[in-house]
Structure 1
Amino acid sequence: MKFLVSNDDGVHAKGIKKLSSMLKDLGDVVVFAPNRDRSGASNSLTLDRPIRVEKVEPEVYSVYGTPTDCVHLAVTGVMEDEPDMVVSGINNSANLGDDVLYSGTVAAAIEGRYLGLPAVAASIVVDSVKGKRQKRNYDTVTHFLKKIIQHVMTHPLPQDTILNVNVPNLEVDEIKGVKITRLGNRHKAENAIPITDPRGFKMYWIGPAGPEADAGEGTDFHAVKNGYVSISPIQTDMTKHDFINELGTWANHL
């Protein structure tokens, strides 16, 4: 197996190093990751300029672009041999519910799927403690992620599906098990935060994500909150198939 590894926290992030080390037990590993933190980049692709790619270590490349750029360039032109699987992460915070719409970690996995490769995105779920930097138990993530990837290697995913894995920030023996979940969702995001620059011009910080709304049993939110690893299948086909026929009746009135 040859694994293509990416993330959105940057090529030097601790999570991607832990992930790469674990995957070397399963096969060859090549890393293409952003040169800096690109969290929230979603599925953006850079089309208005060329993209610099620098080799920073053997089989490790720093890309001056988005997570999607990283996977796209690696598969379509830079790597001599196409990888067998794309694994993205380990993100240093959760990618639950609506987060997947903005997540560069999930986007890297989706790009791999668009390019015909099985793909998995992995994140660690850290409780929010204001003003305190929590230690992250990446070894717990790799423990479970290794088993998940081994299973995917022998039980291929559907052609339009990636796995979004979220692991609570606990010790391995504190994890209660694994839950297969659906994405929950949040309430509307909080308001943008206005600030003024030194020249008196108004600027804005994007406000925090909204609190959990749909977070009941069966959701990814509920699973991790109760000490379980959450695995959510995400489909890349965004068509709402069960609405096509009803929408077709509208055409007669347009």
Structure 2
Amino acid sequence: MRILLTNDDGIGAPGIRALQDALLQAGHEIIMIAPDRERSAASHSLTLRRDLRANRLAENEYSIDGTPVDCVVVAFQHIIKEPVDLVISGINAGQNMGEDVFYSGTVAAALESALHGHKAIAISINSYHDQLFESAASWMVRLMENGIIDQCLPNGVLNINVPNLPASQIRGLRVTRTGHRRYYNFIQILSEDANGFSYRIAGDHPSWEKMDNSDAQAVQDGFISITPLGFELTDPNSFGSIQQWIDTQNLSTIQETAHAF
């Protein structure tokens, strides 16, 4: 299989290198196009107002001085000449569950790949320290060998989160929905004077709400979570109340626009 690897931790990060090694050993052809340094929490940002540089580090390996989405865009619009069978973003150092998916450059790179018409997976490991990347990489290979690409990726993206456990201690797989937790204490003030202040976006690590079938619950229970992600952000449950408001205000059709404002 011909696979594009990318991430948001940077091209030298141990997660993407462990995945590269495992996939090469399994006989896959790898193209690696990733940021030249860490771009965590870059979300779906695209660089528009400065020039970017792509450096060829080795055969089929490029570092990009941009975001994860920049990497995917240049990969498919310029660097890659032959079709790929799959895009994998990761292995990310730290989970991407629940609201994390909105901030994650790892997930965004997979979503951008899907927008380009490619099957894509984001994979993360549930620890910020002492990660067992080889365990997660071996499971990624095992999932591929068991047909996850053909059977589970007709559309959209699979967001996979792996417990930070030895491969033999992982209890199995669960198909999940995104969990929920709310971050607090985002702003850390570093210094302050009469004209302003310096700060850092920090944040704590709040506990997850207990939700059946959530990604967080699965990982906490020792299972790999597989969450299918799509592009539909519409909330149909709100249609009724919004339409009722429009009707109540007689705004369905405005006859005298000039007198309405």
**Both proteins in one fold, TM over 0.5:** yes
Partner of 1:131: none
User: Which of 210, 226, 235 is 1:240 aligned to?
Assistant: 235
Partner of 2:258: none
- Structure showing greater Rg: 2
Does the 8 Å contact 1:118/1:156 carry over to 2? no
Change over 3 Å in CA distance of 1:209–1:76 after alignment to 2: farther
Aligned-partner Cα distance in 2 for 1:58–1:51: 20
Partner of 1:152: 148
Q: CA deviation at 1:232?
A: 0.9
Say whether 1:207 aligns with 2:202: yes
User: Which one-letter code corresponds to 1:155 in the other structure?
Assistant: Q
Partner of 2:165: 170
Segment of structure 1 superposing worse, 79-88 or 60-69: 79-88
Does the 8 Å contact 2:113/2:120 carry over to 1? yes
Change over 3 Å in CA distance of 1:118–1:244 after alignment to 2: farther
Change over 3 Å in CA distance of 1:209–1:100 after alignment to 2: farther
Segment of structure 1 superposing worse, 217-226 or 103-112: 217-226
Say whether 1:38 aligns with 2:39: yes
Q: CA deviation at 1:157?
A: 1.8
Per the normalisation by structure 2, the TM-score is 0.87
Per the normalisation by structure 1, the TM-score is 0.89
User: Which of 133, 136, 156 is 1:138 aligned to?
Assistant: 133
Aligned-partner Cα distance in 2 for 1:101–1:121: 13
Change over 3 Å in CA distance of 1:209–1:115 after alignment to 2: farther
User: Which of 180, 187, 193 is 1:185 aligned to?
Assistant: 180
Q: CA deviation at 1:17?
A: 0.8
Change over 3 Å in CA distance of 1:245–1:116 after alignment to 2: farther
SS of 1:155's equivalent in the other structure is helix
Q: Deviations over 1:53-91 (max 9, x none)?
A: 001122110001000000111011221123221100000
How many residues get paired?
247
1:76-91 paired onto structure 2 within 5 Å: 76-91=77-92
Q: CA deviation at 1:181?
A: 1.0
Does the 8 Å contact 1:183/1:220 carry over to 2? yes
Say whether 1:9 aligns with 2:9: yes
> CA RMSD, aligned part only?
2.2
Does the 8 Å contact 2:186/2:204 carry over to 1? no
Does the 8 Å contact 1:190/1:210 carry over to 2? no
User: Which one-letter code corresponds to 1:13 in the other structure?
Assistant: A
Q: CA deviation at 1:49?
A: 1.7
Aligned-partner Cα distance in 2 for 1:63–1:215: 39
Partner of 2:216: 221
Does the 8 Å contact 1:3/1:28 carry over to 2? yes
Aligned-partner Cα distance in 2 for 1:191–1:103: 16
Q: Deviations over 1:133-186 (max 9, x none)?
A: x42211210122113234233325232x21111111111121111111111111
